[in-house]
A and B are shown apart, each in its own frame.
Chain A
């Protein structure tokens, strides 16, 4: 949400958004120093929750250096050294979105270091799978690394941006699967519902991308509408867009059920 206006917060609040989980992301340009990331982590953990609170939405975040900036191993390690300090922040859910972009050796090295960091600090893990033609290969490399680690519990990992050719592999290996909705570059609400009707999966959720590129903060409610149009019950929709995220995120003690008034 750091690249979104308050209009988007208002639209999401009006559409019934109960909580926002914002991953550390590539800014669209490479940051030149660890100091730039320090400021970004402050923005994610201190400033953005205040913006969201003005619209009554709890804001959570994930921290990492995104795979798009992981090719510079030296910078990546400097940034990772900052993360433990921020893991104490009340809105941090875990490490993410880590993963791969162009499936390089350097990206793999930093992915493994992030996984170690998450295990060491008992954090949930959010994984970004690569884009377009790189997704299938990258997803397989990521699954191999996670399985080979030995101390990663798949129930505490969500593999994000699955599509029709990667969804089955992810859920069959016990991980949570995230279907990210995008107007063009990933799944549409219609395709997401098709996937859910075709492949039986318990550990799955949908997410709207709200980044600086072509994306739609209201994509999840649009997918919910698509499900209702197709005759899915309110309970089935609620399981997918509310109960499932709640089940996964509640593994982090800092996450509070937005439906429970304190």
Chain B
């Protein structure tokens, strides 16, 4: 079931957050978005991936007037 792989990835995530903590510079909304998804890992059920992807998604429904950038960032910038 890929236990060692999951263990390794969890440690990589922990190391990443430690690295962010040590870093200087302006706050990055993506980190906040990442952290806000962590409690979703502990919910019961079998749809954690979908739940996290929904959490990070742009919830608006109307088309944008213009593209400000070509790239997606990974986390919707409006997450509280």
Binding site for B on A (CB under 8 A): 68, 71, 101-108, 130-137, 140-141, 163-165, 190-191, 194, 198
Task: Kindly list chain A residues whose C-beta atoms are within 8 Å of the C-beta of B76.
Answer: 133
Pairs A–B under 8 Å by Cβ, sample size 24: A71-B66, A102-B64, A102-B67, A103-B58, A104-B64, A105-B64, A105-B65, A107-B63, A132-B56, A132-B72, A132-B73, A133-B57, A133-B58, A133-B74, A136-B53, A136-B57, A137-B58, A164-B47, A164-B50, A165-B50, A165-B53, A165-B54, A191-B49, A194-B49
Min distance, Cβ A214 to any Cβ of chain B, angstroms: 14
Q: A101-B70, A102-B70, A134-B72 are in contact. Are A190 and B63 (CB under 8 A)?
A: no
**Inter-chain contact A104/B53, CB cutoff 8 Å:** no
Distance in angstroms from A25 CB to nearest chain B CB is: 13
Given A164-B47, A165-B53, do A134 and B67 touch, yes or no (CB 8 Å)?
A: no
Q: Which residues of A contact B24 (CB under 8 A)?
A: none
Tell me if A164 and B66 are in contact (CB < 8 A): no
Main secondary structure of the interface of B (DSSP, over half): loop
Report the count of interface residues on B (CB-CB < 8 A).
27
Nearest A residue to B2 via CB reads A190
Q: Shortest distance in angstroms between A50's beta carbon and chain B's nearest beta carbon?
A: 31
Residues of the A chain whose Cβ atoms lie less than 8 Å from the Cβ of B57: 133-137, 165
* Cβ A133 vs Cβ B73 within 8 A: yes
Residues in A whose Cβ lies below 8 Å from that of B54: 136, 165
Q: Of all chain A residues, which has the CB nearest B56?
A: A133
Given contacts A133-B73, A136-B57, A198 and B46 within 8 Å (CB-CB): yes
Is B75 touching A133 in the complex (CB atoms < 8 A)?
yes
Q: Which residue of A lies closest to B79 (CB)?
A: A133
CA distance A27 to B67 in the complex (A): 18
- Indicate if B38 sits at the interface (CB-CB under 8 A): no
Which residues on the A side are within 8 Å of B72 (C-beta)?
102, 130-134
Inter-subunit contact B47/A136 (CB<8 Å): no
Whether B61 is near chain A, meaning CB under 8 Å from some CB there, is: yes
Whether the Cβ atoms of B63 and A68 lie closer than 8 Å is: no
